[in-house]
Amino acid sequence: MSTKLKPLPYYAFFWEAYRASRRVQKMNYIERGLYRHLLDECWVEGGFPSSFPTICEILDCPIEVLHTAWTKLAPCFYLDGDLFRNEEMEELRTTKDKERVIKSISGKIGGQRRTHTDRGSQASAKQVLSSCHIEEKRKEENRKEENRKEKSYDSQNSTEFAAIACPYEKIKNLWHEKLPTLNKVQAMTDKRENTLKRLWRKAFVEAKLKTEEEGLEWFAQFFQHISESKFLMGRTHTEGRAPFNCTFDYVIDPNNAVKIIEGNYHKNPSKSYVDGRGRLVVDGVVCM
């Protein structure tokens, strides 16, 4: 097919799956309305832009409303280049397009004389398309798996915030500035950058940060919180055991970062609460 198929003017709405979805159950009526609108956009356009102002134009809603709703909406989409897509909708679009290609070819064959040769050609065409469908399905599954592996954060936490590039060197410098007695970071390897980027994005989404400056301030407070732990700073001494060797790689792992923020490595339990913007505040520090 040289021309792109136009989307059908309808799509199947699987209401049972929709109502049974835990993600949908956690949404309020505003979030559900925005979600349905974005599903429509995914069906018609294949996805929607990653820019919040553009999304607000599509939804015709204030950016503050979208910011508030995005924590519930983000897990329903994944970032593919510059577009957010919905896995179920993409699968449905792919399936419908292939059905229409098969029907188109079958229709052309049906217009010819019904001979044994024609029937053989029809079967052959269907077999080729079936093989193509299997290969396309395999590629689709591989793409989905890569999306899940790369980050539950890219598919569920990628937002306009994630478009703000992670300032690796600035965060490394903050580490040296705030924690001069801990191990130095000699080089930012690819693995190190990927891990740090995951924590950067998690902080932006869960603390509702908007600028690079706010992100750097978050890390400055995070490193300051680490400096107040005798265990993490290697100042605890247990007979027969060496002090804990806290490294940059250890603290930037998102799972370890949550434990640190919750005060698991501090002698006195941290005082934590959720503020009016839904952010976790530990000992007066806005965290995740």
Q: Is 111 helix (H, G, I), strand (E, B) or coil?
A: coil
The reported pLDDT for the residue numbered 184 is 93
| Torsion angle in degrees (nearest 10) through CA of 114, 118, 123, 128 | -140
Whether the Cβ atoms of residue 265 and residue 257 lie closer than 8 Å to each other:
no
Which of 233, 238, 229, 234 minimizes the C-alpha distance to 262? 229
Whether the Cβ atoms of residue 262 and residue 268 lie closer than 8 Å to each other:
no
CA distance 12 to 113: 35
Whether the Cβ atoms of residue 182 and residue 172 lie closer than 8 Å to each other:
no
CA distance 282 to 165: 26
Helix, strand, coil % over all residues of the chain, rounded to 5: 60, 5, 35
End-to-end CA separation in angstroms for the chain? 49
Which of 271, 257, 211, 268 minimizes the C-alpha distance to 281? 271
CA distance 216 to 219: 5
The reported pLDDT for the residue numbered 2 is 44
For the chain, what's the residue count? 288
Which of 237, 107, 219, 232 minimizes the C-alpha distance to 173? 219
The reported pLDDT for the residue numbered 273 is 46
CA distance 179 to 184: 9
- Show the tokens assigned to 45: 């356009």
Indicate the average pLDDT of the chain.
Answer: 75
- Show the tokens assigned to 237: 């001494």
Whether the Cβ atoms of residue 205 and residue 253 lie closer than 8 Å to each other:
no
Whether the Cβ atoms of residue 159 and residue 75 lie closer than 8 Å to each other:
no
CA distance 260 to 285: 12
Residue 84: strand pairing partners: 48, 79
Residue spans per domain, the chain: 1-155, 164-286
Whether the Cβ atoms of residue 55 and residue 49 lie closer than 8 Å to each other:
yes
Residues 209-257: tens digit of each pLDDT? 889 999 999 999 999 999 988 888 888 776 677 888 889 999 999 998 9
The reported pLDDT for the residue numbered 159 is 46
CA distance 172 to 185: 7
**Series of mean pLDDT values for 10-residue runs along the chain (288 residues):** 55 65 85 90 87 90 90 87 85 64 52 52 51 64 62 46 79 94 92 92 87 93 90 78 86 90 72 51 55
The reported pLDDT for the residue numbered 214 is 92
pTM of the model: 0.42
Whether the Cβ atoms of residue 278 and residue 272 lie closer than 8 Å to each other:
no
